[in-house]
Chains A and B, each alone.
Chain A
Amino acid sequence: AQKITQTQPGMFVQEKEAVTLDCTYDTSDPSYGLFWYKQPSSGEMIFLIYQGSYDQQNATEGRYSLNFQKARKSANLVISASQLGDSAMYFCAMREAHYLNDMRFGAGTRLTVKP
């Protein structure tokens, strides 16, 4: 069974600085997708970034980048130039090709951006 681990329950970062949120995963499926979602206090899950297991380059989306280290099974999210609006819960998630459509989430990391 797939497993996603986020070991940082909470993180603090100063506004305008960069922050890395950790995520490790475990799967025996060679084909999978890794995702990061942001969940503000309002509740909606906002898609941030996607990395496919066969992608050669790390994914980037604006201020978000994914540090994908396949051999270590890690997919850390890097947020550059943090903004106050980045304060939220962040979830790492994975989908495996052989589990139909079954996305599972890590426990999440609460990020607080300080002014």
Chain B
Amino acid sequence: DTEVTQTPKHLVMGMTNKKSLKCEQHMGHRAMYWYKQKAKKPPELMFVYSYEKLSINESVPSRFSPECPNSSLLNLHLHALQPEDSALYLCASSEWGTPHGYTFGSGTRLTVV
């Protein structure tokens, strides 16, 4: 299995809602990532988990809450988002400590209304 699976593919939520994005990989990768990508822009790093522990938080607002319950799963909990948070959210995984590339999921297109 060489895939990163993200669910849901599309999500529309109100500013008072609570929702979660899910990411799963079974490649034995010990590093997992969340990126945010606005239209016509490159992906921007949000969080990095290594061995299920948060190692990088790029000053992301607390309305985004990551969670790594095990080595295969990565969640992003969303609460009280703003319309400007509408974007494509990409999950990726990689081996830890090597310069090799990431495997990306197909993303969740989030719209906040």
Sort chain B's interface into a size bin: 20 to 34
CB of B89 to closest CB in A, whole Å: 10
CB of B94 to closest CB in A, whole Å: 6
User: Quick check: B43 and A45 within 8 Å, CB to CB?
Assistant: yes
User: Quick check: A100 and B50 within 8 Å, CB to CB?
Assistant: yes
Contact with B along A69-110 (1 / 0, CB 8 A): 000000000000000000000010001010011111111100
Which B residues are in CB contact (< 8 Å) with A45?
43, 90, 92, 102, 104
Sort chain A's interface into a size bin: 20 to 34
Contact with B along A2-27 (1 / 0, CB 8 A): 00000000000000000000000000
CB of A28 to closest CB in B, whole Å: 16
User: Quick check: B107 and A50 within 8 Å, CB to CB?
Assistant: no
User: Quick check: B99 and A95 within 8 Å, CB to CB?
Assistant: yes
CB of A40 to closest CB in B, whole Å: 10
